[in-house]
Amino acid sequence: MRLSRYFLPVLKQNPSEAQIASHRLMLRAGMLRQEAAGIYAWLPLGHRVLKKVEQIVREEMDRAGAIELLMPTLQLADLWRESGRYDDYGAEMLRITDRHDREMLYGPTNEEMITEIFRAYVHSYKDLPKNLYHIQWKFRDEQRPRFGVMRGREFLMKDAYSFDLTEAAGRASYNQMFVAYLRCFSRMGLKAIPMKAESGPIGGDLSHEFIVLAQTGESAVFLDKRMLDLPVPGEDVDYGADLTPILDEWTHLYAATEDVHDAERYERETPEAERLTARGIEVGQTFFFGDKYSRPMKANVQGPDGVDTAVQMGSYGVGVSRLVGAIIEASHDDAGIIWPDPMAPFGVGIVNLRPGDPEVDEACERAYAALTAAGKEPLLDDTAERPGGKFATMDLIGLPWQLIIGPRGLADGVVEIKRRATGDRQTLPLAAAVRTICE
């Protein structure tokens, strides 16, 4: 992409409404624009990152055997009356009346609807297990939306729903999603720690929150620091095998958010030298809730014994839009964002120090073509802005590499590359620079 044709409205000033780093940096880097309280337009740079998060989540869901579908944003109120949650949900549910005075709502979550879909078609244990997921915009009418995409009202979620005949099989499905989540967040360059959690309004007695550690995180967390070194399952993990050993490994050490922290247990179970108090951001949560929805909604399957029983369910959420903010909270400095390589909206920024100079232009085009061919998705700053401004923008938008090409270097046969994360710079011939970036 050529910056002169792109739409990247960076802000020079810190926006006064942004209280946290990710919100401030997303506004400044031209990723986001607020359209109403807690409702945002994703400008092109932000949209590219959002799509990358979505795609990693999708790939890991598919790998774990979940099947993608898509439920609508609006739902009938009557569906929520079946589970009894319509009245429970309170003011955070955005209630809507259509032109025929039908009561509807903008879905804050989809347990009811997926149960309705399941019960319409699946009646036999022979069709189990099933795990259905979707990635869709949801709405929660927060009393006081703030912190940008970290606590917006309209937000993008992945949620998966598992269906099994028995509780044991249901727990095996739960384990699959648990492992998929470890992989998912690790691929995004995040340290995400599963922590035992309250299940709240979703229900059930088995639930984990996946918490990304970030200095600017929303809540305090207490953990055994050996959790930071646990191995994340590789892409060859066998989802058909018993995953209990992986679950045990990732849940036997102490890790808790401040909401459920038990100081006494922490001190008893965790040697003082291994204790780590940090801050964290929730990016996903898994729930196993058995027949909480299937029983009132009569989602029954016939077992091998001919007897109908309510299906055993779990649900598994990932905050897709929230993750964009979480990644920034976990990875930024005073100059701007530092994208982990897989999440970067562009892999490398090429800075043309003198557009209009035929030699510089030509070298930039050559680099652009080579990096594009190598799949590095370069962003070429071919604008008339001064070098200082170009450098500041590149640091702000946080692409992993910068390739700086100017007339003085070219006269000596060299260009400069800079690694955003470390600030390390190298001066070398153009072809070698491209090779280094592609390595």
Question: Nearest approach, Cβ of 389 to a second copy (angstroms)?
Answer: 15
**Residue in the structure block whose two tokens are 């050993």:** 245
Query: Rounded to whole angstroms, how far apart are CA atoms 321 and 150?
Result: 8
Site membership for a second copy, residue 33 (CB under 8 A): yes
Q: Interacting stretch for a second copy, rule CB under 8 A, among 30-38, 284-292, 306-314, 322-330?
A: 30-38
177 binds a second copy (CB under 8 A): no
Nearest-approach distance from CB 129 to a second copy, in angstroms: 9
Q: Which is nearer to a second copy, 2 or 187 (CB)?
A: 2
Contact with a second copy (CB under 8 A) among 59, 89, 117, 218: 117
Nearer to a second copy, 154 or 224 (CB): 154
CA–CA gap between residue 164 and residue 301 (Å, rounded) = 9
Spatial CB neighbours of 319, under 8 Å, sequence gap ≥ 6: 155, 156, 157, 282, 283, 284, 326
E strand or H helix at 137 = strand 130-139
Residue type, 57: V
Here's the x/- map for a second copy, 119-158, by CB under 8 A: it reads as -xxx-------x-x----x-x-x-x----------x----
By CB under 8 A, residue 273 contacts a second copy: no
Verify binding: residue 304, a second copy, rule CB under 8 A: no
- Between 385 and 416, whose beta carbon lies closer to a second copy? 385
Q: Quick one: 72 or 429, whose CB is closer to a second copy?
A: 72
User: Which residues of 268-390 form beta strands (DSSP E)?
Assistant: 275-290, 300-302, 308-310, 312-319, 332-333, 336-337, 348-352, 378-381
Give the integer Cα–Cα distance in Å for 132 and 164: 12
169 binds a second copy (CB under 8 A): no
Beta carbon of residue 417, minimum distance to a second copy (angstroms, whole number): 27
Angle, CA of 288, 293 and 299, to the nearest 5°:
110
Nearer to a second copy, 24 or 119 (CB): 119
> What 3-state class would DSSP assign to 120?
helix
295/176 Cα distance (integer angstroms): 24
* Window 43 to 102, contacts with a second copy (CB under 8 A): 43-44, 46-47, 50, 65, 67-76, 79, 91-92, 94, 96, 98-99, 102
By the rule CB under 8 A, 291 interacts with a second copy:
no
Helix (H) or strand (E) holding 207: strand 206-213
Among 57, 61, 113, 283, binds a second copy (CB under 8 A): 113
Rounded CA-CA distance 79/111 in Å is: 10
The residues near 334 (Cβ < 8 Å, ≥ 6 apart) are none
Alpha carbons 414 and 426: distance in angstroms, whole number: 10
Q: How many residues bind a second copy (CB under 8 A)?
A: 52
Closest contact distance (angstroms) between CB of 78 and a second copy is: 9
Binding stretches for a second copy (CB under 8 A): 5-7, 9, 30, 33, 35-37, 39-44, 46-47, 50, 65, 67-76, 79, 91-92, 94, 96, 98-99, 102, 104, 106, 113, 116-117, 120-122, 130, 132, 137, 139, 141, 143, 154
